[in-house]
């Protein structure tokens, strides 16, 4: 089975074990929907930062919600301190934050929260999201937070946990991820500027960023698959809901061992709730 992911983090060798053989491969975030709809999809399941919208569910099968995430914003310190006079918004192409994609998440609170955001940041406008600049990856968009002039941005809108992870690992991102060559070279150039008396430009850049805590929207994630893999998703969904009884057991231990992360707490709540829905036709 081929599992596609939207990042290129190296899998840890200690995750290998008995059971179904899974091959993990990357897929560009702005190419994932085209890949799902292809006559010969390049993967069996898409696992990663995929919002399970009503539009998506109408065309492809997806698992129960695996966790909930908020859409937030990463800004530079000057903007966070209200010293900036511009509000150049950036997004990652193909995400629900990108222009033309907001209608996929029918959440009026997104607009209400953005209105609150611009009330606190007078340089921003109501149509800032619609006029956002698109980037091919989160790494590229973060670099734009450092760039002056028309090529730069002041605000990067995206899923809170993704922005937080990139920010936390920014000073060693090019060592933890397989980045496109041109993007990796830009990170390496910033990293190589470190001396005995000064931190690298990359470390200083990391310290200049701030993550806005307020949520612009709340979105559910799920594992999705091409239309012909509905049976596979059904089996995977039963597996997920069965994990609710294993909060401190083998499943949790393996996730910690493989990825160094605890299971998201909202996952247990969602699995507990969704597993109570019985199989079969509820109308009978």
In a domain, 250, yes or no: yes
In a domain, 173, yes or no: yes
Pairwise pLDDT comparison (250 vs 209), residue with the higher score: 209
CB burial of 36-53 (b: ≥16 within 10 Å; e: otherwise) equals beeeebebbbbbbbbbbb
Asked if 95 and 204 sit in the same domain, the reply is yes
Query: For 84-133, what is each residue's pLDDT tens digit?
Result: 567 888 998 877 777 655 444 445 455 667 777 777 777 787 777 778 88
Pairwise pLDDT comparison (202 vs 5), residue with the higher score: 202
Residue 105: the pLDDT is: 45
In a domain, 281, yes or no: no
Look at 46-55, 59-68, 75-84, 213-222 and tell me which has the smallest mean pLDDT: 75-84
Q: In which element (H, E) is residue 202 found?
A: helix 201-208
pLDDT average, residue stretch 255-267 = 67
Residue 183 · residue 140 · CB < 8 Å:
yes
DSSP labels, 222-241: --B--GGGHHHHHHHHHHHH
In a domain, 284, yes or no: no
Asked if 172 and 73 sit in the same domain, the reply is yes
Which of 218, 233, 253 delimits the end of a domain?
Answer: 218
The CA distance from 186 to 175, in Å, is 13
Total domain count for the chain?
A: 2
Asked if 200 and 75 sit in the same domain, the reply is yes
Asked if 53 and 89 sit in the same domain, the reply is no
Query: Residue 97's domain spans which residues?
Result: 68-218
Query: For 224-259, what is each residue's pLDDT tens digit?
Result: 899 889 999 888 888 887 776 666 677 777 777 766
Pairwise pLDDT comparison (80 vs 252), residue with the higher score: 252
Does the pLDDT at position 144 exceed 90? yes
Residue with tokens 């990042």: 7
The CA distance from 58 to 36, in Å, is 13
Asked if 82 and 98 sit in the same domain, the reply is yes
Residue 142: the pLDDT is: 93
Q: What percent of the chain has pLDDT over 90?
A: 5
Residue 3: the pLDDT is: 64
Residue 110 · residue 102 · CB < 8 Å:
yes
In a domain, 280, yes or no: no
Query: For 150-203, what is each residue's pLDDT tens digit?
Result: 788 989 998 888 898 889 888 888 777 778 888 888 888 887 765 544 556 888
In a domain, 267, yes or no: yes
Asked if 246 and 134 sit in the same domain, the reply is no
Q: What percent of the chain has pLDDT over 70?
A: 71
Pairwise pLDDT comparison (11 vs 159), residue with the higher score: 159
Residue 103: the pLDDT is: 47
Considering the entire predicted model, what is its pTM? 0.71
Q: In which element (H, E) is residue 2 found?
A: strand 2-5
Residue 185: the pLDDT is: 87
Residue 43: the pLDDT is: 87
Which of 200, 218, 236 delimits the end of a domain?
Answer: 218
Asked if 77 and 196 sit in the same domain, the reply is yes
Asked if 111 and 249 sit in the same domain, the reply is no
In a domain, 283, yes or no: no
Pairwise pLDDT comparison (34 vs 22), residue with the higher score: 34
Which of 218, 235, 260 delimits the end of a domain?
Answer: 218
- Enumerate residues 6+ apart whose C-beta is below 8 A from 102: 96, 110, 129, 130
Asked if 206 and 265 sit in the same domain, the reply is no
Q: Identify the CATH number of the domain in which residue 213 sits.
A: 3.40.190.10
Asked if 48 and 102 sit in the same domain, the reply is no
Asked if 73 and 164 sit in the same domain, the reply is yes
In a domain, 279, yes or no: no
Mean of all residue pLDDT scores within the chain: 75
Asked if 105 and 197 sit in the same domain, the reply is yes
Does the pLDDT at position 209 exceed 80? yes
Pairwise pLDDT comparison (226 vs 49), residue with the higher score: 226
pLDDT class for 8, splitting at 50, 70, 90? very low
């Amino acid at each position: 089975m081929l599992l596609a992911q939207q990042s290129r983090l190296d899998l840890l060798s200690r995750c290998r074990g008995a059971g179904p053989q899974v091959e993990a491969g990357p897929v560009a975030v702005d190419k994932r929907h085209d890949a799902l709809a292809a006559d010969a999809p390049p993967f069996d399941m898409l696992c990663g930062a995929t919002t399970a919208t009503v539009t998506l569910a109408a065309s492809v099968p997806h698992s129960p919600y695996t966790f909930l995430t908020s859409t937030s914003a990463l800004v530079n310190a000057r903007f966070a301190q209200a010293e900036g006079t511009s509000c150049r918004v950036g997004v990652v192409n193909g995400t629900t934050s990108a222009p033309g994609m907001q209608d996929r998440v029918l959440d009026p609170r997104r607009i209400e929260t953005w209105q609150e955001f611009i009330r606190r940041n007078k340089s921003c406008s109501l149509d800032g999201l619609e006029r956002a600049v698109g980037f091919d990856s989160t790494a590229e968009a973060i670099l734009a937070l450092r760039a002056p002039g028309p090529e730069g941005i002041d605000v990067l809108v995206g899923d809170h946990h993704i922005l937080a992870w990139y920010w936390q690992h920014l000073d060693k991102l090019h060592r933890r991820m397989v980045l496109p060559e041109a993007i990796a070279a830009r990170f390496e150039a910033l990293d190589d500027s470190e001396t005995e008396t000064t931190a690298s430009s990359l470390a200083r850049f990391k310290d200049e960023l701030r993550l806005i805590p307020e949520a612009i929207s709340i979105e559910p994630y799920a594992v999705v698959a091409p239309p012909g893999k509905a049976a596979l998703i059904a089996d995977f969904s039963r597996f997920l809901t069965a994990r609710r009884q294993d909060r401190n057991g083998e499943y949790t231990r393996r996730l910690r061992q493989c990825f160094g992360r605890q299971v998201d707490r909202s996952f247990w709540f969602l699995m507990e709730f969704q597993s109570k829905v019985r199989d079969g036709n509820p109308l009978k």
